[in-house]
């Protein structure tokens, strides 16, 4: 997979893009059981770029004899002097370790530490704190410059019910089949224990194929890995009729009209397995039908980017029927968390695509007997390469009076990275009718863009293009390129609650698995050869007629691509 087909379609319309800091309901581990913590953070701005920070740490887990608190400043803040802890800062990352006299913290006990700091611009509170490696989900931002949100420190009162953020205070499932392939690569053991998504990409994958075990095999292993603690296992539901209508690399086994087979041979058997009582304590995350609904916005008539196969799927309604059916069936299982795919900023980030996608998703969430209650959140950047954060330019910058939106790279998009896109989409989805507490996932498996070519500062302000091109981390030739991108690296490691509104950074696309074959390869999965996976291809309207930027000699989508995996490790950011 991984079509694209963004392109601006007449810049018009206004997007609500104000990122409001929201913190979900805090669920903490019961005292004395799994680790848990709460942090109350207060920043008092003095003016002139100085501020005082107060951090109250409450231990909600087992008694501790020493502790390490970590957080990341979202902006330019620096700790200039601290007390009641040993304070260090590296880049934006701050670490405070306990002193001899305040290291012991019983269950329910609290201690307060503080610091003086400096900042420029806005002084936004850190979104996430960890105590001895555990994310503190009882964050209460009480700074004088931001709104106070009250969170409860109560454990989930009813274990069968969904929690607000399934990733909070939970382990994540490591797929042993992917892990073995990663570990077999030189240097692969550095990442082989990372959690990755399990793709149910054809009917046969339900019971298992040459590529890996079936769903029950994964769930049984997940129960073993959980060992009684909360654990998230991530499945990708990916088998719609007429799948991947704007590209060929991930066309699937079901023909455009085969919606009944989708229901009875694919979704129903999956739901029957997930609903088994043996798996009731797992937190099962399902990401639903990558790429499908966004294709119905950007790659249909009358857009210049239209593809006939997408027109067919729009006309027959089977993407919407299928997504609604999957949401309804899977959402009926109390421990399943459905996340709908929203493409990525380089596709849906244009004004003409953004709102209409949110509205279409809402329509699908209410199709086939589903309701919006079946949607727990959304996932951005699945199997794509969009940078998480572009630190050296923002959408609001301009050069000699020209907005970065007018640069060739940004091309009137409203977003420059996945984090700002995902946070804004969350707001827009709520406006479209989704529940106010929906959460976002961002696939960071291959958007690291590290290595020696990574810029270390803004580009020169000669023109808007030198500024953007010199400073951007994303080194694709064009934002619309999507297949086995040359130069990419592993991104942020999977992490719970990393930023406001974000449930987790995840590795939904298993790094090392190809996006598509560079040349035609016969197969029985319905997959074609997409030119965007051929490094000699000079492009189409969906990538502005640029070179594809794909690596050579790639195998079929989903198959192991050793050379790509090696490059992803070399260019990892953070580095391995
Ligand atoms: C492929 C799937 C594969 C998935 C994960 C997709 O592009 O079409 O077959 O399971 O990627 O690698």
Give yes or no for residue 239 CB within 6 A of ligand 1: no
Q: Give span(s): CATH 3.20.20.40, the chain.
A: 171-388+415-447+489-518+555-570
Ligand 1 atom, smallest distance to 510 CA: 12
Q: CATH code for 171-388+415-447+489-518+555-570?
A: 3.20.20.40
What is the CB-side half-sphere exposure of residue 543 using CA atoms within 13 A? Answer: 26
Pocket test for ligand 1, best of 204, 239, 557, 564 (most atoms within 8 A of CB): 557
Compute how many other C-beta atoms are within 10 angstroms of the C-beta atom of residue 198: 25
Q: Give span(s): CATH 2.60.40.290, the chain.
A: 19-135
Q: 419 falls in which pLDDT band (50, 70, 90)?
A: very high
- What is the chain's alpha carbon radius of gyration, rounded to the nearest angstrom? 23
**Residue 272 vs residues 35, 185, 209, 289: alpha-carbon distances, Å:** 33, 36, 19, 19
Ligand 1: distance of its center to the CA of 250 in Å?
A: 7
- Look at residue 65 in the predicted model and tell me its pLDDT: 86
The string of pLDDT tens digits covering residues 534-566 is 999 999 998 999 999 999 999 999 999 999 999
CA-nearest residue, atom 9 of ligand 1: 558
- Look at residue 534 in the predicted model and tell me its pLDDT: 98
DSSP codes of every residue in 110-156: EEEEEEEEE-SS--PPPS-EEETTEE----EE--TTS----------
Average pLDDT over residues 511-537: 96
Reply yes or no on whether 530 is catalytic.
Answer: no
- Look at residue 494 in the predicted model and tell me its pLDDT: 98
Model confidence at 313: pLDDT above 80 = yes
Average pLDDT over residues 73-80: 91
Residue 539 to residue 543: CA distance in whole angstroms = 6
Q: CA-based angle 13:15:20, to the nearest 5?
A: 165
The string of pLDDT tens digits covering residues 244-281 is 999 999 999 999 999 999 999 999 999 999 999 999 99
Cα-flanking dihedrals φ and ψ of residue 87, to 5°? -100, 130
Q: Which of 86-90, 218-222, 279-283, 351-355 shows the lowest per-residue confidence on average (mean pLDDT)?
A: 86-90
DSSP 551: P
Q: 22 falls in which pLDDT band (50, 70, 90)?
A: very low
Give yes or no for residue 251 CB within 6 A of ligand 1: no
Model confidence at 296: pLDDT above 70 = yes
E-assigned strand segments in 355-453: 377-380, 398-399, 402-403, 439-443
Average pLDDT over residues 420-424: 98
Cα-flanking dihedrals φ and ψ of residue 125, to 5°? -65, 145
Average pLDDT over residues 75-94: 89
Averaged confidence pLDDT in the chain? 89
Catalytic entry in 291, 417, 443, 534: 291
Give the residue with greater pLDDT, 244 vs 108. 244
CATH topology of domain 19-135: Immunoglobulin-like (2.60.40)
- Look at residue 341 in the predicted model and tell me its pLDDT: 98
CA-nearest residue, atom 2 of ligand 1: 558
Give yes or no for residue 530 CB within 6 A of ligand 1: no
- Look at residue 23 in the predicted model and tell me its pLDDT: 31
All residues at 6 or more sequence positions from 373 whose CB lies less than 8 Å from its CB, including other chains: 331, 435
Average pLDDT over residues 137-150: 46
Q: 322 is written with which tokens? A: 């299928």
H or E segment at 326? helix 318-331
Model confidence at 103: pLDDT above 80 = yes
Catalytic entry in 211, 515, 530, 534: 515
Average pLDDT over residues 395-399: 97
Model confidence at 187: pLDDT above 90 = yes
Average pLDDT over residues 316-327: 98
Ligand 1: distance of its center to the CA of 177 in Å?
A: 14
Average pLDDT over residues 481-488: 98
Q: 121 is written with which tokens? A: 């611009």
CA-nearest residue, atom 11 of ligand 1: 558
Q: Which of 125-129, 359-363, 368-372, 443-447 shows the lowest per-residue confidence on average (mean pLDDT)?
A: 125-129
Q: 516 falls in which pLDDT band (50, 70, 90)?
A: very high
Q: 149 falls in which pLDDT band (50, 70, 90)?
A: very low
Model confidence at 35: pLDDT above 90 = no
Dihedral sign for Cα 409, 415, 419, 422, please.
negative
DSSP codes of every residue in 459-519: PPTTSHHHHHHHH-S---SSTT--SSBTT----SPPEEEEETTEEEEE--S-TTB-SS-SS
Give the residue with greater pLDDT, 27 vs 57. 57
E-assigned strand segments in 214-280: 231-237
- Look at residue 316 in the predicted model and tell me its pLDDT: 98
Ligand 1: distance of its center to the CA of 6 in Å?
A: 21
Average pLDDT over residues 368-397: 98
DSSP 550: B
Q: 19 falls in which pLDDT band (50, 70, 90)?
A: very low
Q: Which of 21-25, 190-194, 236-240, 462-466 shows the lowest per-residue confidence on average (mean pLDDT)?
A: 21-25
Ligand 1: distance of its center to the CA of 515 in Å?
A: 7
Model confidence at 158: pLDDT above 50 = no
Ligand 1: distance of its center to the CA of 384 in Å?
A: 12
Give yes or no for residue 244 CB within 6 A of ligand 1: no
Reply yes or no on whether 291 is catalytic.
Answer: yes
**216 three-class SS:** helix
With CA atoms as reference, report the closest residue to 417 among 17, 122, 100, 90: 17
All residues at 6 or more sequence positions from 254 whose CB lies less than 8 Å from its CB, including other chains: 239, 240, 241, 242, 243, 261, 262, 266, 526
Model confidence at 1: pLDDT above 80 = no
Q: 112 falls in which pLDDT band (50, 70, 90)?
A: confident
Residue 285 to residue 508: CA distance in whole angstroms = 11
Q: 12 falls in which pLDDT band (50, 70, 90)?
A: very low
Do 113 and 98 touch, CB atoms closer than 8 A?
A: no
Residue 20 to residue 290: CA distance in whole angstroms = 27
């Amino acid at each position: 997979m991984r079509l694209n087909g963004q392109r601006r379609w007449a810049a018009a319309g206004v997007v609500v893009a104000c990122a409001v800091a929201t913190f979900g309901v805090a669920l903490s581990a019961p005292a004395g059981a799994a680790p848990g913590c709460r942090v109350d953070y207060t920043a008092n701005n003095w003016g002139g770029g100085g501020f005082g920070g107060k951090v109250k740490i409450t231990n909600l887990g087992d008694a501790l004899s020493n502790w390490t608190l970590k957080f990341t400043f979202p902006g330019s803040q620096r700790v200039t002097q601290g007390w009641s802890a040993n304070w260090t800062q590296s880049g934006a990352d701050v670490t405070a370790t306990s002193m001899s006299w305040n290291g012991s913290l019983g269950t329910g006990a609290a201690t307060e530490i503080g610091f003086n700091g400096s900042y420029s611009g806005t002084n936004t509170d850190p979104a996430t704190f960890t105590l001895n490696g555990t994310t503190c989900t009882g964050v209460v931002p009480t700074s004088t410059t931001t709104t106070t949100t009250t969170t409860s420190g109560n454990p989930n009162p009813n274990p069968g019910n969904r929690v607000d953020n399934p990733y909070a205070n939970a382990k994540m499932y490591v797929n042993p089949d992917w892990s073995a392939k990663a570990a077999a690569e030189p240097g692969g053991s550095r990442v082989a224990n990372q959690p990755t998504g399990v793709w149910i990409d054809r009917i046969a994958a339900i019971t298992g194929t040459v590529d890996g075990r079936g769903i029950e095999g994964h769930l049984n292993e997940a129960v073993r890995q959980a060992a009684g603690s909360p654990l998230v296992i991530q499945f990708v539901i990916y088998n719609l009729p007429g799948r991947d209508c704007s590209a060929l690399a991930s066309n699937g086994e079901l023909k455009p009209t085969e919606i009944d087979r989708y229901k009875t041979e694919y979704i129903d058997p999956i739901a029957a397995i997930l609903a088994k009582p043996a798996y009731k304590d797992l937190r099962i995350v399902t990401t639903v039908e990558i790429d499908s609904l966004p294709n119905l916005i950007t790659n249909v008539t009358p857009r210049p980017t239209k593809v006939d196969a997408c027109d067919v799927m729009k006309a027959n309604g089977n993407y919407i029927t299928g997504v609604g059916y999957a949401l309804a069936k899977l959402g009926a299982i109390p421990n399943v968390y459905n996340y709908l795919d929203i493409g990525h900023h380089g596709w849906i980030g244009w004004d003409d695509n953004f709102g209409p996608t949110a509205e279409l998703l809402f329509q699908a969430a209410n199709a086939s007997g589903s309701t919006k209650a079946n949607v727990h959140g959304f996932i951005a950047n699945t199997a794509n390469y969009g940078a998480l954060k572009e630190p050296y330019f923002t959408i609001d910058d301009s050069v000699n009076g020209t907005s970065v939106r007018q640069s060739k790279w940004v091309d009137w998009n409203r977003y420059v990275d996945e984090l700002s896109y995902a946070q804004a989409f969350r707001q827009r989805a709520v406006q479209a009718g989704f529940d106010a507490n929906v959460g976002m996932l961002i696939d960071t498996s291959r958007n690291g863009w590290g290595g020696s070519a990574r810029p270390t500062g803004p580009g020169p302000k000669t023109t808007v293009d030198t500024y953007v091109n010199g400073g951007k981390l994303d080194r694709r030739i064009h934002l619309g390129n999507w297949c086995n991108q040359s130069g990419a690296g592993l991104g942020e490691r999977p992490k719970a609650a990393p930023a406001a509104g974000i449930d987790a950074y995840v590795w939904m696309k298993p790094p090392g698995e190809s996006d598509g074959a560079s040349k035609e390869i016969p197969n029985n999965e319905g997959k074609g050869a997409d030119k965007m996976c051929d490094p000699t291809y000079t492009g189409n309207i969906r990538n502005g007629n640029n070179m594809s930027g794909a690596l050579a000699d790639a195998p079929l989508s989903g198959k192991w691509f050793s050379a790509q995996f090696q490059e992803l490790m070399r260019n990892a950011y953070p580095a391995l």
